[in-house]
Amino acid sequence: MFSRRSIIAGISGLGATLALPTGAMARSAPKMARLRPGDTVGLIAPASVSDDPFSLETAQSTMRGMGLVPKLGQHAADRFGYLAGTDRDRAADVHAMFADESVRAIFALRGGWGGARMLPLLDWDLIRAHPKLLVGFSDVTAFHLAFAARAGFPTIHGPNAGNRWDSISWNSFWRIAFAGQTPILNGSEGQDVTQDRWRITTIRPGKASGRLLGGNLTVLSTMMGSPWLPDFDGAILFLEEVGEAEYRVDRMLNQLALAGILRKVAGVVFGQCSRCDSGVANYTGFSVPQILHQYLSQLGIPVFAGANIGHVGNQLSLPVGADVRIDAEAGTIELLDPIVA
């Protein structure tokens, strides 16, 4: 658990200096208003309830440390089993934040599980009529994918409000959401140079452009066959995972292959697979890097792995649904057009 002081320290000082055809949404999407210091942002709990009594206070303090004014959803502190309120109440908070003209962006408080349960309840006409930045990751992948299919404007895959915002997470977010820049994001930025397993690895070199789609591998795979997935034809697919044994990563990638998604995309970025091991003594099965190579090396498209995306410190903030260019040898993701004006 990271203290409020460590979270704010990661961003202090930086703010002052700092189902459409693939690609169609990014090119035709209305530019959302960029964030500015003093803007009000909504905090919603779309998934799991938090068992930490200080989580709401920490999240609000983090937003204030960004120079923003937090506004809690009416049901953000609710509990319904392991969910942060009933599906209808959590959906009501989403609607309220999009309808509220004073709210300039919306942050998920945390992930867990539950976002996908709300998708049939969301008023997509309301959401499309009030384009705003939606920020979060992990279970929030369900929102990122559904928004890419239904909303008509990009979202940001980045830390949840209740998570840590280290300097690189904040800097990449600031450049995209505040400054309206088109940064080239270095996938290895902020990584521990002494680590071996998850350094940037080029599985197949090359450059490719397309609409950036993806997120958490588990959430994506469980949405197969639903009407809430965007068209992946020509997309740049990015994936991350946490706490899954090797055979489960194998099974989920196989699901994407069987569904035809891997054959459709123009490039793949696999981020971090944190704590992805079976925990079995004297394990003799495939490693996750071996599994990635088996599924991704024969696609004939640029692929790299080990980017700082996922359940890790200093994770990059990424513009889901926007047009990007990747360089698999350099390990970079370049935003091609600003998503805010």
- One DSSP character per residue, 244-295 reads --HHHHHHHHHHHHHTTHHHH-SEEEEEEEET-S---TT--S--HHHHHHHH
152 contacts 131 by C-beta, under 8 angstroms = yes
Measure the CA–CA gap between 124 and 133, rounded to whole angstroms. 15
Q: Which of 55, 157, 311, 317 is catalytic?
A: 311
Three-state DSSP class for 170? helix
Three-state DSSP class for 196? coil
Choose among 109, 25, 13: nearest CA to 67.
Answer: 13
159 contacts 312 by C-beta, under 8 angstroms = no
Say whether 157 is catalytic: no
Say whether 329 is catalytic: no
Largest Cα span, the chain:
58
Alpha helix (H) residue ranges in the chain:
4-11, 24-28, 55-65, 87-99, 115-118, 124-129, 141-150, 167-173, 217-222, 246-258, 261-264, 288-296
Say whether 95 is catalytic: no
Q: Which of 48, 50, 55, 138 is catalytic?
A: 138
Which residue's entry shows tokens 């700082």?
Answer: 308
Q: Which of 55, 240, 241, 244 is catalytic?
A: 240
Measure the CA–CA gap between 199 and 208, rounded to whole angstroms. 21
Please provide the size of the chain in residues: 341
Q: Which amino acid is at 267?
A: G
Active-site amino acid positions: 138, 240, 311
